[in-house]
């Protein structure tokens, strides 16, 4: 874990042993893999200091030196802030993890017309705390899917986390309730997913689709109701991936009428129960678990803390 602290608009990192001899340019390019345009703005606007002085980006760093980065400036707000009560699972100066309720879109499709989304709520929360910066979503959940979702509080955190997601370094674990009893206790579904030509929003397994991999483990079987509670985690993040893959196996999600499920509950029975990642600035392992929030209860007698 790195030694860090916030100082107003600046964020300070004490150079660890593993950075000794590297340059500021190396840290941005190789450690954080920051986009060139964003890195250029930090460099040209003198937003990086070493021991209080403007950084020489090509000078080798010395263990124990202090790097200061201007991360917490006010921004022109692009997202309309809207008060909606949200459940915060984790927060620091860089990231926010929220337990998204069902029946809420993750982000607005139209910035003016759609203002009741999780991103609008998070934007209000941020500004109410005096943090006048645009919130940045890192991934999304379907409107009717609940659970842990990750957002970034500033541009550099957003860029690093976007890249971590692309490299599959952010692990998301889901709980699904499906129809039927799975034959396998554990397994992997490798099946490409593409658009359904006959339905605007539907996806399907298709040889011409994008590669998609879902791993699963059976948690519990309700033989009386002929239903199975399944833990899933993904190597990819295709639209409706878990819903499509489990339906393809012949076990659609309970409540998921789009993919063959029965409307026993009011939504598809899918919950993002656990989110894990290595913090981009402190190197701390962050593990967030999202409690179930449905009433009546959908996921009965499932302990998210045992996942």
Provide the annotated active-site residues: 142
- Asked if 8 contacts 49 with a C-beta cutoff of 8 angstroms, the reply is no
Other beta carbons within 10 angstroms of residue 296's beta carbon come to 7
On whether the CB atoms of residues 118 and 96 are closer than 8 A, the answer is no
Can you tell me which residue has the tokens 């100066």?
93
283 phi and psi angles, rounded to 5 deg: 65, 15
Secondary structure element (H or E) that encloses residue 87, with its range: strand 87-91
Rounded CA separation 165/278 (Å): 11
d(CA 155, CA 72) in angstroms, rounded, equals: 10
């Amino acid at each position: 874990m790195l030694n860090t602290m916030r100082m107003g608009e600046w964020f300070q990192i004490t150079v660890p042993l593993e950075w000794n001899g590297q340059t500021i340019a190396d840290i941005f390019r190789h450690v954080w893999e920051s986009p060139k345009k964003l890195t250029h703005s930090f460099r040209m606007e003198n937003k990086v200091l070493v021991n209080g002085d403007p950084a020489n980006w090509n000078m080798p760093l010395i263990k124990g030196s202090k790097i200061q980065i201007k991360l917490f400036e006010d921004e022109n707000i692009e997202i309309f802030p809207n008060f909606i009560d949200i459940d915060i699972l984790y927060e620091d100066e860089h990231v926010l993890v929220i337990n998204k309720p069902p029946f809420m879109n993750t982000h607005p499709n139209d910035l003016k017309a759609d203002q009741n989304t999780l991103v609008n709520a998070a934007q209000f929360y941020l500004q109410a705390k005096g943090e006048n910066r645009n919130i940045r979503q890192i991934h999304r959940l379907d409107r009717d899917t609940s659970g842990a979702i990750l957002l970034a509080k500033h541009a550099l955190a957003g860029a690093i986390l976007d890249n971590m997601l692309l490299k599959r370094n952010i692990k998301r674990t889901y709980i699904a309730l499906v129809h039927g009893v799975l034959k396998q206790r554990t397994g992997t579904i490798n099946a490409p997913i593409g658009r359904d030509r006959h339905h605007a929003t539907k996806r399907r397994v298709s040889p011409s689709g994008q590669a998609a991999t879902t791993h699963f483990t059976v948690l519990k079987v309700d033989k009386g109701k002929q239903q199975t509670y399944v833990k899933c985690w993904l190597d990819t993040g295709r639209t409706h991936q878990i819903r499509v893959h489990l339906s393809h196996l012949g076990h659609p999600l309970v409540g998921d009428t789009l993919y063959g499920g029965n409307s026993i509950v009011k939504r598809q029975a899918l919950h993002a129960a656990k989110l894990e990642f290595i913090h981009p600035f402190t190197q701390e392992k962050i593990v967030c678990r999202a409690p179930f929030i449905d009433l009546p209860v959908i996921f009965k007698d499932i302990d998210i803390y045992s996942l």
